[in-house]
Amino acid sequence: MRGLGDARLTVRPRRARCPGCGRTQVLLPAALSLRRADALEVIGTALAAKAAGSGHRRIATLLGRPLSTVRRWLRRVPKTHTQWLYEQVVQHAFRLNPDILVRPKPWPTLLGHGLNTLAGAALAYCRRVDPELPPWTVIGHFTRGNLLSLPLRT
């Protein structure tokens, strides 16, 4: 897996078996996104830059990724997914610290508002549970690895 910059992550996913049907599932760490070669912090950084007004060319240069990859990430976040992402944010933020929802920084887009509130909820979680835990790992846990797309229905 690719991290920010030139960082490389070596991951060996675990498997789990469903006791009901016997099917196996691959379990990814929360810092990774489903079906992506880049870690969640890379993809999240791209989304945050888009919410701040940057275009895909500038983001690709900043992250050192191909234009087509970054453009694909940014296109994967339709309005319906942004709404789902914001709902996840509100649920976790309210459980952790309802004050996060009172005065968040205003953003012109729902994506920016959702990512900003999600970061606040992740930081509140880190302060409460484990200050050494990377915030993007917590965000991966909150979004269940679905930062770019809606979760699969089973």
Phi first, then psi: what are they for 78, rounded to 5°?
Answer: -75, 170
What is the C-alpha R_g of the chain?
A: 16
Tens place of pLDDT for every residue, the chain, 154 residues? Answer: 787 877 787 888 888 998 888 899 888 887 887 778 888 889 889 988 988 889 999 999 999 999 999 998 888 776 667 777 777 777 777 777 777 666 666 777 777 877 887 888 888 888 888 889 888 888 888 887 777 766 655 4
Residue 8 pairs in a beta bridge with: 2
Is residue 51 a part of any domain in this protein?
Answer: no
Q: What tokens does 104 get?
A: 């968040």
Q: How far apart are CA 100 and CA 121, in angstroms?
A: 7
pLDDT for 28: 80
What's the structural domain count of the chain?
Answer: 1
Is residue 32 a part of any domain in this protein?
Answer: no
Is residue 52 a part of any domain in this protein?
Answer: no
Is residue 149 a part of any domain in this protein?
Answer: no
Is residue 68 a part of any domain in this protein?
Answer: no
Is residue 90 a part of any domain in this protein?
Answer: yes
Is residue 118 a part of any domain in this protein?
Answer: yes
Residue 109's domain comprises 78-144
In DSSP notation, 93-106 reads HHHH-GGGGTSPPP
Is residue 124 a part of any domain in this protein?
Answer: yes
